[in-house]
Amino acid sequence: MIEWLLEPLSEPIVARSLAELALLGLVSGTLGCWIVLAGRSYSAESLAHSMLPGLVGAALLGLPLVLGGAIGLAVGASLIALVGRIKVLSSEIAVSVVITSLFGAGVLLGLAPATPAGLGGILFGDLLAVGFGEIALAAGYAAIVLAILFVLHQGLLATGFDRLNAKALGRSPAQLDLVLALLLAGATLVAVQALGNLLVVAMLIGPAASARLLTQRIGPMMMVAVAIAWVASLAGLYASYHAELAAGAAVTCALVVAFAAALLIRSLRELLASDTRRRSRGAQSRGLRLRSRRA
Amino acid sequence: MQDRALSCEPLVRSNRLAARYPGASVPAISSITFAVEAGQRVALLGPNGGGKSTLFRVITGELAPSSGELELGVGHSALVPQSERSRLDYPVSALDVALMGSVSRLPWWRRPSRADRALASESLRRVGLEDEANTTFGELSGGQRQRVLVARALVQDSPLLLLDEPFAGIDAPSAELLAALFDQLAAEGRGLLMATHDIEQARSWDLVLCCNRVQIAFGDPAQVLTREVIERTYGSSLVPLPGDESLAITPPHHHHHFEADR
């Protein structure tokens, strides 16, 4: 059993993947909580998908993926802003039109004969190919995200709670939105190499969404989210090693299982709570009857 | 007028103030001339869409005046919004919400200090919620939530409090507690400006400002709140109560939102 647990970790490939996932988990567990609480999960997904043409373009031209992704993000964000100005369309329609167009364009490019084989790698990432450069990048980015979120914590909390009156408290919701969007775009870029264009969203949103189901305060929510990201990463890597599954997909599956488990725990808790309430209400009304009889 | 209100620089003063939302052709409020001094309780009467929230937005600095003058003696005010509009699904305790008031006093990079936390606890105690400090905001009753928002304004530590219909839809114990607290805050020298629909309550306050997109009247409620002024303030939505000299306002059926003011 111990050998079963230790053997994968002695593989340098697995150890590096685990280090990368642990750092990405720190980012997604904290930043993801603000994205989930702001109800921006859909935007996060859109943002990630909008950079596909950029990624494929970079692969075509032999440029670093991060550069192509950054250009793709900028183009996607500008298009969304532009289409969002069409008054008849709601912003969600604008986003979905732009994203599906860009994603389709990316797939077309990716399937062109001139493109080096590797659309799969771009869509699903190549977790086991992660090198020290990627790990260093993730570590640096995690430090930046944690520092910024620490400093802005109270402002983000106050603005998220009472957006309408945030300006009366001296905070600009638009500015904080921009900070979160930039941090999210950066996280997508940093994580895309390991997790790919499709799976990166699961890592960014999944742990925070699961943690929201289990916690009632922002601090614990972040800690639980990071813990879920870490446990799912470990579980995914073990499954990948022992059952010879694709690593990124196995981690994503583990995140989905974690979400399902969180949902189940929450439902059970609510069931228990309503049961206790019913019982105590029953006891109260019995008490009332007793008192009224005495009166 | 009470003597505590004498000879002070007003906390807020306006002269023929008007404000217009971006893109709107007509101002949402105009000809507003009033002042709130330290220790004064001023009721702001008006129908939904009459500009009460707009006036608050101008005072908090969210909306610039389009003409006229607005002078804030202290430079800042604390707004207590309607609790009906706050998020109930947010993972914060009553104490967390009270502590959010400190944000307005801190530069963006500073986190609340221990003193800020102590002030937040103290403010919760003042609104009678020290036992609920660790309760999730969304699990509190409507009246309790309103009191938490008052505590948040106390943590902002501003001498001018803007209260947006604080008694709307809250339970009787909370209403009594809040009314006593407001009197106490005024006695401490804070100025209170309260948007309300309750004419009887407005009568018991120091001054009343009647506003229906334009200012109808401002002054001592005993002199100002005549039938004519009330009718002009509320338009035709006024019904005399049978066998009684007092008047009732037909209550609006929809909730009042900022958008409704535009």
pLDDT of residue A82: 82
For B87, name the nearest residue in chain A, comparing CA atoms only.
A161
In angstroms and rounded to an integer, the radius of gyration of the C-alpha atoms of chain A is 23
**Minimal Cα–Cα distance from A169 to chain B, Å?**
4
Asked if A160 reaches chain B (Cβ–Cβ under 8 Å), the answer is yes
For A168, name the nearest residue in chain B, comparing CA atoms only.
B60
The residue count of chain A comes to: 295
pLDDT of residue A64: 84
CB distance A72 to A261 below 8 Å? no
In chain B the domains, ranked by start, together with CATH numbers, are 1-77+158-173+188-262 (3.40.50.300), 88-157 (no CATH)
Please provide the average confidence, as pLDDT, over all residues in chain A: 88
**Minimal Cα–Cα distance from A140 to chain B, Å?**
21
Q: Which parts of chain B register pLDDT below 70?
A: 1-8, 75, 236-262
Residues of B near A (Cβ–Cβ under 8 Å) read 60-62, 77-79, 81, 85-87, 90-93, 96-97, 99-104, 106, 108-109, 111-112, 136-137, 156, 258
CB distance B251 to B243 below 8 Å? no
ipTM for the complex? 0.85
| pLDDT tier for residue A282 given thresholds of 50, 70 and 90 | low
pLDDT of residue B247: 57
Asked if A164 reaches chain B (Cβ–Cβ under 8 Å), the answer is yes
As a whole number, mean pLDDT of residues A90-103 equals: 84
Best residue of B83, B108, B161 to probe chain A, by most A CBs closer than 10 Å: B108
Which candidate from B87, B102, B104 shows the least CB-CB separation from A161? B87
The span from the CA of B258 to the CA of B51, in Å, is 9
Contact state of B81 with A162 under an 8 Å Cβ cutoff: yes
pLDDT of residue A283: 60
| pLDDT tier for residue A295 given thresholds of 50, 70 and 90 | very low
For B77, name the nearest residue in chain A, comparing CA atoms only.
A168
Backbone angles phi, psi at B6, to 5 degrees: -75, 150
pLDDT of residue A50: 87
Distances (CA, A) of A53 to A66, A76, A79, B103: 12, 9, 13, 42
For A157, name the nearest residue in chain B, comparing CA atoms only.
B100
Place of tokens 């943002």: A47
Percent of chain A with pLDDT over 90: 49
pLDDT of residue B5: 43
The span from the CA of B146 to the CA of B165, in Å, is 10
Q: What is the DSSP string of B80-104?
A: E--GGGS-SSS--BHHHHHHGGGGG
**Minimal Cα–Cα distance from A53 to chain B, Å?**
37
Asked if A146 reaches chain B (Cβ–Cβ under 8 Å), the answer is no
Residues in A 42-101 with any Cβ partner in B closer than 8 A: none
Partners of A157 on chain B (C-beta within 8 Å) are 92, 96, 100
Which candidate from A154, A171, A216 shows the least CB-CB separation from B91? A216
pLDDT of residue A193: 83
H, E, C per residue of B117-166: HHHHHHHHHHCCCHHHCCCEHHHCCHHHHHHHHHHHHHHHCCCEEEEECC
Percent of chain A with pLDDT over 70: 94
pLDDT of residue B258: 42
| pLDDT tier for residue A197 given thresholds of 50, 70 and 90 | confident
Which candidate from A152, A162, A212 shows the least CB-CB separation from B86? A162
Contact state of A161 with B62 under an 8 Å Cβ cutoff: no
Which of A271 and A122 is assigned the larger pLDDT?
A271
For the question of whether the overall pTM of this predicted structure is more than 0.90, the answer is no
**CB crowding B53-75: b at 16 or more within 10 Å, else e:** bbbbbbbbebbebbebebebbee
Best residue of A37, A162, A175, A215 to probe chain B, by most B CBs closer than 10 Å: A162
Q: What angle do CA A260, A264, A265 make, to 5 degrees?
A: 120
The span from the CA of B9 to the CA of B37, in Å, is 7
For B86, name the nearest residue in chain A, comparing CA atoms only.
A162
For A176, name the nearest residue in chain B, comparing CA atoms only.
B108
Counting one residue from chain A and one from chain B, the pairs whose CB atoms sit within 8 A come to: 72
Q: What is the DSSP string of A201-241?
A: HHHHHHHHHHHHHH-SSHHHHHHHHHHHHHHHHHHHHHHHH
Which candidate from B103, B136, B258 shows the least CB-CB separation from A158? B103
Q: pLDDT digit string (tens) for B64-86?
A: 999 999 998 876 899 999 888 88
What tokens appear for B18 in the block?
Answer: 């008007």
What tokens appear for B170 in the block?
Answer: 């809250």
Contact state of A217 with B156 under an 8 Å Cβ cutoff: no
In chain A the domains, ranked by start, together with CATH numbers, are 2-294 (1.10.3470.10)
**Minimal Cα–Cα distance from A170 to chain B, Å?**
5
Which candidate from A157, A168, A217 shows the least CB-CB separation from B62? A168
For A37, name the nearest residue in chain B, comparing CA atoms only.
B90
Q: pLDDT digit string (tens) for A151-186?
A: 999 999 999 999 888 988 889 998 998 899 899 989
Partners of B87 on chain A (C-beta within 8 Å) are 160-162
What tokens appear for A258 in the block?
Answer: 């974690």
CB distance A67 to A58 below 8 Å? yes
Asked if A132 reaches chain B (Cβ–Cβ under 8 Å), the answer is no
**Residue partners of A103: CB distance under 8 A and separation at least 6:** A49, A50, A52
User: Does the pLDDT of residue A115 top 80, yes or no?
Assistant: no
Partners of B95 on chain A (C-beta within 8 Å) are none
For A217, name the nearest residue in chain B, comparing CA atoms only.
B91
Q: Which residues pair with B137 in a beta bridge?
A: none
| pLDDT tier for residue A31 given thresholds of 50, 70 and 90 | very high
Partners of B106 on chain A (C-beta within 8 Å) are 154
